[in-house]
Chain A
Amino acid sequence: MTSAYLDFIRMRFLMMLAYRVNYYSGIIIYAINIGAYYFLWKAIFGEAETLQGFTVIQMSTYVAVSWMARAFYFNNLDREISNEIVDGSVAVQMIRPYSYLLVKLMQGFGEGLFRLLLFMIPGMIVVSLIFPLELPTDPMQWLVFFAMLWFSFLINSQLNILTGLCAFFFENSQGIMSMKRIMVDLLSGVVVPIAFFPGWAIAVMNWLPFQAITYLPSSVFTGRIQGADAWNALLVQVVWTVALIVPILLVWRAARRRLFVQGG
């Protein structure tokens, strides 16, 4: 059975490879984003040496690594699940002896793996040649970062799954999906690092799962969180990953009860 799940990763990977045009356009979009944010932050810094404890180089590194990490953890599981629910093909998934949500997660991972290998790593090399970045020198830092990246993927996918399952309860979940997307981009720290938010907002965000998606791993990567704090950040991610399982299972269970397969 495990080999079946692995096959779903492999298949999605191959499928991504087959639809390469999406991949090329993705590279361009990410390049534009990183460039735009780099120049934006440079303008904001102006003459200043540091802002909220960020140096210009740290900031560029933060922007670059945040967007590259986003390439890995980002997926459209919410849209996929919601579509399958709306068009009724979720019924076919239910007659197979596997866990639907786990299969979805695997497909998301196949997609992430594809972008990690063909997009994030080469992209990071190119970006580090163009912009002045400061990459970590401590191998431990790299290790913790990659571990944290894996949890970023898990937490983001869990939020996506939760959003996608809303389609069971609402006739149209488009609004919820775009709301989730904006919330993840804004509150996870891709657009603005959380340190730049006002104090009360930071206090609130510390209790939300979003910061664990981008802000924590990117802070570890840029060296803003170090040593024991880095391990703490990883722990926060683990706690959120485990905690998010509960609402997913509850929603899934409720959904099974009221599953309404469209189209008879």
Chain B
Amino acid sequence: MLAIDVQQLRKQFKVQKNREGLKGALKDLFKREHTEVTAVKDISFGIPQGEICGYIGENGAGKSTTIKMLTGILVPTSGKLLVNGYVPYKDREKFVQEIGVVFGQRSQLWWDIGVIESFRLLRKVYRVDETDFRGRLDELVETLQLQELLNRPVRKLSLGQRMRCELVAALLHNPSILFLDEPTIGLDIVVKTEIREFLKKLNREQGTTILLTTHDLQDIEALCSRVIMLDDGRIIYDGGLDELKSRWGKGREIVFQFTEPATLSEVSAYTAELAVRWTMENDVTARVWIPKEMNVSDVLSRVVGRKEISDIKIIETNTDEIVREIYQSGSADSPRDLSALTGAGEAKEEKPAVAAGTGADKP
């Protein structure tokens, strides 16, 4: 059974238009003009139980709007939506009993009271049995090391402490699906790692389905077997992270640092018969892009010995760069090469599109 089943989901907002100037303001007084903004444009995807799925995209791509529809906060304009077998906005009170939500930018704890008071209140709100509550709380407090925070008021917690408490608050009622909207935003690396480890454990031991949005791709790399990438309200990629990497990370790059100045034509001549591309960073630094099929040693052997080298660096494309490139091109369908990626200013080569991953929604 799919934990989350989304078909042709769409959300439109009416946004008030403010006309310019005094005249416009007066006109607005009597008749407001509205513009329709479509935040989510007919997306479809399904997430099976027990999966950790990353939901990424630029700011304003529609991630949060989707999460808000999935959690029953927003009512979709059209489309089919089934989470845990419920239509979220219809049976909201029953539905939310089985999900947990963490908004990185909003607290769901009560600001003025102690952490433990908040938890106790949530126990009542979610009608959790006292013994279940005790057991779960002890376990969560143990794993997230909250012992000494429990009696502090929420407003006196640091962001990292608060976020760990938010996680506990979202999990006290043992939800089968956990929605995380930018859970690691603004956190330091230690807390980030802790939270990632915790989520992995949760998924492994309890089989909790997790859907998370993030801007931190290390979250995705650490946690997700699958990513859904959103751009301008449409899904541009849906599939495994490895696949995304192998499809997009088409090559490596070597940076040579020469002891004496070199020119582009000079270094290009060394590898004239190979399909590589050279760029000069400055007089003594040259970069060469190598397609994935080719061995790095082929290039190295041709350069080494012909010119004196002070340093060599081999660079593998990382996810950050891949994703940045996809955001910029607005599509995951047309692969690019590494030279375009590093911003060397070369014209991008158009290559035939590779078939999109499983279930990708082609615009």
Contacts and interface: CB of A to CB of B under 8 A. Distances in A.
B362 to A, nearest CB: 26
A1 B71 CA distance: 21
B99 A11 contact: no
Interface in B84-122: 89, 92-94, 96-97, 99, 101, 103, 105-108, 110, 112-113, 117, 121
B127 interface: yes
B60 A91 contact: no
A256 interface: yes
B94 A97 contact: yes
A45 B191 CA distance: 72
Contact of A1 (B13, B64, B110, B127): B127
A91 B106 contact: yes
Contacts of B60: 264
A249 to B, nearest CB: 14
A223 interface: no
A89 B73 CA distance: 11
Given A96-B96, A256-B89, A261-B74, A91 B125 contact: no
A102 B14 CA distance: 28
Interface string B144-162: 0000000000000000000
A7 B344 CA distance: 62
A11 B113 contact: yes
A94 B73 contact: yes
A4 interface: yes
A15 interface: yes
Contact of B73 (A7, A95, A171, A258): A95
Interface size class of A (residues with CB under 8 A): 20 to 34
Contact of A94 (B72, B110, B127): B72
Contacts of B103: 91-92
Nearest to A91: B73
A65 B125 CA distance: 37
Contacts of B117: 11
Interface in A231-253: none
Given A11-B110, A98-B93, A256-B89, A4 B124 contact: yes
Given A92-B108, A95-B108, A99-B93, A260 B121 contact: no
B75 interface: yes
B185 to A, nearest CB: 12
A97 B73 contact: no
Contacts of A97: 93-94, 96-97, 125-127
A97 to B, nearest CB: 5
B68 A263 contact: no
Nearest to A6: B124
Interface-central residue, A3, A96, A98, by most chain B CB under 10 Å: A96
B112 A98 contact: no
A170 to B, nearest CB: 9
Interface in A91-121: 91-92, 94-99
A264 B16 CA distance: 16
A169 to B, nearest CB: 10
Contacts of A35: none
B71 A95 contact: yes
A43 interface: no
B124 A1 contact: yes
Nearest to A256: B75
Given A92-B103, A92-B106, A95-B73, A261 B68 contact: yes
B121 A94 contact: no
Contacts of B89: 256
A75 to B, nearest CB: 17
Contacts of A263: 105
Contacts of A261: 64, 68, 73-74
Contacts of A144: none
A192 B73 CA distance: 44
B326 to A, nearest CB: 21
Interface of A: 1, 3-4, 7-8, 11, 15, 18, 88-89, 91-92, 94-99, 171, 256-261, 263-264
28 contacts: A1-B124, A1-B125, A1-B127, A4-B125, A8-B121, A11-B110, A15-B113, A88-B106, A92-B103, A92-B106, A92-B107, A92-B108, A94-B71, A94-B73, A95-B96, A97-B93, A97-B94, A97-B125, A97-B127, A98-B125, A99-B93, A171-B16, A256-B75, A259-B73, A261-B73, A261-B74, A264-B59, A264-B65
* Pairs A-B, 4 closest by C-beta atoms: A4-B124, A94-B73, A4-B125, A95-B101
Interface of B: 13-14, 16, 59-60, 64-65, 68, 71-75, 89, 92-94, 96-97, 99, 101, 103, 105-108, 110, 112-113, 117, 121, 124-127
